[in-house]
Structure 1
Amino acid sequence: MALASIFEKIVGPQANIAFMAYDGSKAGPDGADLALEVKSPIAVAYLAQAPGELGLARAYISGHIDVHGDMYTLLDRMWNITTNDLTTAEKVAAVRSLGLKPLMMRVPAPPQEIRQSTLAKLGSRHAKQRDAEAIHHHYDVSNRFYEWVLGPSMAYTCAVFPTKKSSLEEAQYAKFDLVARKLGLKPGMRLLDVGCGWGGMVMHAAKHYGVKALGVTLSKQQAEWAQKAIVDAGLEDLAEVRFMDYRDVVESDFDAVSSIGLTEHIGKRNLPSYFAFLYSKLKPGGRLLNHCITRPTGTEKTFNKGGFINRYVFPDGELESVGYLVRQMEDLGFEIRHEENLREHYAETLRHWCANLDANWADAVQEVGMGTARVWALYMAGCIVGFERNKVQLHQVLGVKLDSEGHSGVPLRPSIDWP
């Protein structure tokens, strides 16, 4: 069987994708708006040794497969293989089609891939040193690269779009302001923002609400960028970002805690201690806003250690359902006062990030290399599909630490806009 036809069989002929291979073979419909070009035998070896999502990702990241056309559209059409991966029977059939020779080739994984054996040397899952390395792997790529992808807000979490026509900057402002209003921030209050990234929430709270805000991050590059931005904005009397593990924060009696995009890195086993720690940092009547990606139900696998996302993007990342997270919060003393799903907003956020990466592609490749740029193009486009198809969700949960008499301090009927 011609090589292009084998790839068509693996991806699926119903995908309406053309295939071209280095042996001169072609497959798929004529005039297709999308094409996969298999450029070398190494691409075949990658797929033979890891049929499905991981093998295709390795071949693309290493440059042995090229994509002609829009990445998002390609992944949307390849949904079953890029998100659900192949069944065992399909993988066996793929290897048989490709033959034994590609199985014998020694092809190292692209250098952007992080192995579980590397992480294991740093301790058990979510030990402090191991968490630091996992965060470093993803967030310490390059501040300049993130500036091109994220835009001026440097917010690497789901935005909230007031309208479909809202810009990314307007939507990121709306997200931070929604969090601030849910937390009931007022001048003179103290805010702890765990996993603060480049300090967006910290600076928003200080600038627009007169709050004394402390942010902590395990990324040294993020902390350095954020501290400079705070000084440049003249907010150093109110805002601070530290390079440290949230578990090492010694201050307490905060009026509010925000966790925007950190819970995904905590791990199921550590969720009770995570929420207990945040609870301990609040004064009575204080509020926690937990903003994170979740699974749509409690029936899916928590994480796939061998998959593309875990190996290339978020090492040791774990997602739970919102119901599970709410139960953990309740069992540790929080009263849940509000919850909402922003799934569609994250798909829209990712579209803007993908467009930014495309617009700055040449600079991005020069800054971080072709392989890393391809990891980002693949992962962000795939995530759009995931959020659109309800493979993953984004939830904000507001919890309150009641005072000794059971008072929450939450308005009797706050409006949906949280004025």
Structure 2
Amino acid sequence: MTGTRGRRRLGQASVVVGAATAALAARKMAATPPTPTQVRSSALHLLERVLPTSRGFDVELWDGTVIPATRQPVQARLVLRSEQALGRLLRLPADLALGEAYLRGDFDIQGDIGAIAGIADDFDAQLRPADWPGLLNDVQVLKRAAGAVPAPVSVSLEGEQHSRERDRAAIQYHYDVSNDFYRLWLDSRMVYSCAYFPTGQETLEQAQEAKLEYICRKLRLQAGERLLDIGCGWGGLAIYAAQRYGVQVLGVTLSQAQLMEAQERVKAAGLQNRVTLELRDYRDVLAAGHASFDKIASIGMAEHVGRKNMPTYFRSAYAALKPGGLMLNHAISDGIGQARVPMWLQSGNFARKYVFPDGELLPVWETLKHASEALFELRDVENLREHYALTLKHWAGRLEAQEAQARPMLGEQRWRLWRLYLGATSYYFQKGHLSIFQSLLAKPDAERAVPLPLTRADLYRA
């Protein structure tokens, strides 16, 4: 019995020692950096297996090796700047890892950023069970080469999400970059929202004027009416509506930089008696505006409201409108294409973390549900996503043309952020990952009447 028990204990000890030895060997291997030859070999093997089989971009490794595009025309080149770059990209969610790696300078994109942004859409690797051991080994080699992954600097907001103070900080982070910066690549009115391209051949200047006209027509503005412009930006819509339609405008923004520029523009246009612009939270204006506005425009602002505040947003807007009044809600929404891409590849966290802090994109059905529950009547809804894809393409091209001035203004990381944001977002609208909807909402009068034409023909008159 003693001999058997002893042998059993020896056997158990051997197992423990063997496991410990294996764990020690694994730790030692993990602590040993791979050789440059191993890193290059693993990178080539992994990329050749997982890159889309049909792609319009080249990939260049740090040593000059190029994996060529497989379709023409070649739209871009992804350049890995060091042995650490690919390993730093092998984190989830993939869109956040990709975006942060670009901000750090782990890789560069030469040419059309949209060609790289679509890599998740084109992912078509057909991996067999026999492929996995080799690929997992490649991943481990590349991660060991990457070392610690430093995070880029991101905005740090304090307080409860979508409180007045935190919303103001989030808005100022994005919009108070510099008026001179935005002036470099926006149109002359500095309209920072989706333009409208009736033929698709318009210049950015023409398309932004067409958008302002389209908004005014949808609201059926009449001389003497009172318009509330929520999120008035640099005053483009407020000035246009006052000049062309003779309305009285109250515009509000949370950006001090925007307000100062917009007020100067109002003064230069001689519209101080028709246009009032203020640094105010939309909640304060709507709470005080008891049925005092004929029309409300909210253009590119609802994305900052947040899901939990949507009921209050629409209820307050309804209360601020006179009976028979109209509201145009123009907002980005999740697109139908989003469902095709797994969340581990495309989470949307990059934009919320680095571009629009606390921004929330609701599906259009949910936005309209909140509006309906606030007693609004939906009279029209239009998806303008192709228009936003064109708008962003114009903005991205204009920003690239002004790189020599814009880059020093922003600093390296923020320059890369804006370049990535504009270039990639154009692709997302083009492919339907994002959409933008204009929803015309009405507050019927006591007789349930809404003063709208029976057709849309007036929207499209020459």
TM-score band, normalised by the shorter chain? 0.7 to 0.9
Match of 1:274 in 2: 313
Measure the CA separation in 2 of the matches of 1:296 and 1:416. Answer: 29
Distance 1:287 1:395, change over 3 A: same
Match of 2:3 in 1: none
Cα offsets for 1:121-179 (capped at 9, x unmatched): 321x2122221222122111111111112121211111111222211111111111111
Measure how far apart 1:14 and its partner are. 3.5
Matched ranges for 1:379-394 at <5 A? 379-394=421-436
Match of 2:103 in 1: 61
| Local SS of the residue matching 2:121 | helix
Cα offsets for 1:289-339 (capped at 9, x unmatched): 1111112359959x9876221121122222222222222212211111222
Does residue 1:152 correspond to 2:188, yes or no? yes
Cα offsets for 1:68-93 (capped at 9, x unmatched): 222223334x24389x9xxxx99999
Contact 1:45-1:107 within 8 A present in 2 as well:
no
Equivalent of 1:255 in 287, 290, 294: 294
Equivalent of 2:219 in 177, 180, 183: 183
Measure the CA separation in 1 of the matches of 2:316 and 2:163. Answer: 16
Measure how far apart 1:261 and its partner are. 0.6
Measure how far apart 1:345 and its partner are. 0.8
Q: Residue type of the partner of 2:417? A: V
| Local SS of the residue matching 1:156 | coil
Does residue 1:375 correspond to 2:414, yes or no? no
Match of 2:121 in 1: 80
Q: Residue type of the partner of 1:230? A: V
Distance 1:72 1:306, change over 3 A: closer
| Local SS of the residue matching 2:451 | coil
Distance 1:188 1:74, change over 3 A: same
| Local SS of the residue matching 2:459 | coil
Q: Residue type of the partner of 1:400? A: A
Measure how far apart 1:280 and its partner are. 1.1
Match of 1:202 in 2: 238
Does residue 1:164 correspond to 2:204, yes or no? no
Distance 1:238 1:91, change over 3 A: farther
Equivalent of 1:98 in 139, 150, 174: 139
Distance 1:371 1:185, change over 3 A: same
Measure the CA separation in 2 of the matches of 1:93 and 1:180. Answer: 61
Match of 1:308 in 2: 350
| Local SS of the residue matching 2:272 | coil
Measure the CA separation in 2 of the matches of 1:21 and 1:131. Answer: 42
Cα offsets for 1:342-387 (capped at 9, x unmatched): 1111111111111111111111102112221221221222122211
Measure how far apart 1:408 and its partner are. 1.3
Measure the CA separation in 2 of the matches of 1:202 and 1:351. Answer: 25
Q: Residue type of the partner of 1:277? A: S
Contact 1:17-1:35 within 8 A present in 2 as well:
yes
Match of 1:17 in 2: 57
Larger Rg belongs to: 2
Measure the CA separation in 1 of the matches of 2:197 and 2:282. Answer: 29
Measure the CA separation in 1 of the matches of 2:402 and 2:317. Answer: 39
Distance 1:15 1:305, change over 3 A: closer
Q: Residue type of the partner of 1:122? A: G
Distance 1:99 1:151, change over 3 A: same
Match of 1:173 in 2: 209
Distance 1:236 1:306, change over 3 A: same
Measure the CA separation in 1 of the matches of 2:182 and 2:359. Answer: 20
Measure the CA separation in 2 of the matches of 1:44 and 1:292. Answer: 36
Measure how far apart 1:279 and its partner are. 0.8
> Which stretches in structure 1 are left out of the alignment for 5+ residues?
none
> Which stretches in structure 2 are left out of the alignment for 5+ residues?
1-40
Measure how far apart 1:418 and its partner are. 5.9
Does residue 1:337 correspond to 2:382, yes or no? no
Which TM-score applies when normalising by structure 2?
Answer: 0.80
Does residue 1:346 correspond to 2:388, yes or no? yes
Distance 1:80 1:8, change over 3 A: farther
Measure how far apart 1:212 and its partner are. 1.0
Contact 1:192-1:213 within 8 A present in 2 as well:
yes
Equivalent of 1:285 in 318, 321, 324: 324
Measure how far apart 1:243 and its partner are. 1.6
Q: Residue type of the partner of 2:281? A: D
Measure how far apart 1:9 and its partner are. 4.4
Matched ranges for 1:102-121 at <5 A? 102=143, 105-111=147-153, 113-114=154-155, 118-119=156-157, 121=158
Aligned residues: 406
Contact 2:224-2:248 within 8 A present in 1 as well:
yes
Does residue 1:241 correspond to 2:277, yes or no? yes
Worse-superposed segment, 204-213 or 34-43: 34-43
Measure the CA separation in 2 of the matches of 1:16 and 1:350. Answer: 20
Measure the CA separation in 1 of the matches of 2:114 and 2:246. Answer: 41
Worse-superposed segment, 33-42 or 312-321: 33-42
Distance 1:181 1:307, change over 3 A: same
Distance 1:274 1:8, change over 3 A: farther
Task: Give the CA RMSD over aligned residues.
Answer: 3.0
Question: What percent of counterpart residues are identical?
Answer: 37
Measure the CA separation in 2 of the matches of 1:384 and 1:181. Answer: 27
Contact 1:18-1:35 within 8 A present in 2 as well:
yes
Worse-superposed segment, 16-25 or 244-253: 16-25
Which TM-score applies when normalising by structure 1?
Answer: 0.88
| Local SS of the residue matching 1:395 | strand
Worse-superposed segment, 340-349 or 42-51: 42-51
Worse-superposed segment, 275-284 or 248-257: 248-257
| Local SS of the residue matching 1:339 | strand
